[in-house]
Chains A and B, each alone.
Chain A
């Protein structure tokens, strides 16, 4: 039996006396930054959950918010939420690992192009894919059902997207490419010598895959699983589109109802429910930490290697077909709808006399759109860069050192991910508005930037943590022994080796910023509109076709970014 375990905890980085004074100051600064970004809005929300009125209004402290969430109705909501998220995460994980293995470790034809296409759904605004799937999968006149009835002559319904299955399917559109992005580079960067040793020792391909490959991928897969599961718990669009019409309620729709669907918004219940969900997610993190503790997952060592590609023979056409089917179902169908709809007057009405370019013209001439586009690009580039830098440092401290305070830093970095976005947005609003007026954050682009950095840090930390855990400590020690300083070693060894993960994280955060709405709608001011807000305005104003045009523009950006990213990664891998 092949196992991988080493006393990793004992091999933490050590810098002798060099950091005698700088280290405590560095850690304190890091903690302060994280406290401002994540703890500060959380404290505002905690206040809101324990006070009968929001900050600024006289009231009293009580536990009514927490008492109100302990009802049978809320237990059903919680069961729905956990069940749906678990189902979609497991299914997505299995699919993503399969696709990542096909793309990164086999000789499947066209895998470079497939890699880009498989990840496209993640970058499309959920409201658009929901609209597309509503047209494809509704029980009455959905395209899939009409085709089924025509083919079989039956009156029955093959799929009904307004169901638990529909909610899960729509969520999988995002979680599968999300997990894929995490996993594919880890597969690619793995030294194949361990797998070769396993095969040479008599293990079958399947045994090697299960006991070596997947075992080594545990930090990445568990991180991706947890991130995706938490995201599933906080998912809103899928539930509100396909669940609410048939009575399926989840935590986020319940919170949304508490805040926006009552004459007197109930922030106390909403924030209490948010903390309740957060407590559950915290347990998952503890579980992950226990699972990974004391084990080594290094796959990148000081020896040179080239990634191993499994020759599949004729089976490569089966794997190619699997990728194509996935692409057809999750990309071609919904994006095809978007593309078609952008050229017709109305979404879903494809008649010759409705052909038009007016949607493209309207977007092109819309000055509010261009201003928002500029703001979003600026915030996206700066935000993703700052977030990855912060995440890289946090990940280093938590995975490569035994410094005091590293567990606190890890928890602080996780916090924003665990709070539903629409609740966290309120925390940012409350937090930034009460800052002294001399600090120019509220009402400026800074408010949005800080919120985005806070929201993206958990992803940055997870992506880089998983990458660092694959790198052996001796490479770093070797650099230090040869006289390189801490920053040099971080930049020229660790980050250089983990660069593919950095690139993936950067792209994820950039496009996360483009799509983020919950905090943006509460923090933007006239002049600092971002794309997500402009798209909401267009959607509410009855212009879903113009939203499609913007969605397609975002897809073009994705293709460009991913092409650049993959070329860079390939160049890096070839020089390892």
Chain B
């Protein structure tokens, strides 16, 4: 399986997200439990990379997320993709956002973990 460069990934994602219609304004009611910061880190591991990139980018855009960056590594047949998402304009709850992404990649036999950026910040920055 050939590795896609990070730049090519970014172009692919831009292509996909351009097609998505603007999401309606407004947030779900009663969201006092929303995480404080604005970004989420989505890590996806699986085999069939191209199909998953498009699908996950679509799911993120559909939920009002904005992809800030994307990168990936390959270990034999498996890839790990890391996507940083600006979640400040999500049109669904964070829990719903997570759930949609998990379902989207599960359908293609991959796994996905969504975590708030703050956990990476807390562990990796003094």
B is a partner of A: no
B residues touching A (Cβ–Cβ < 8 Å)? none
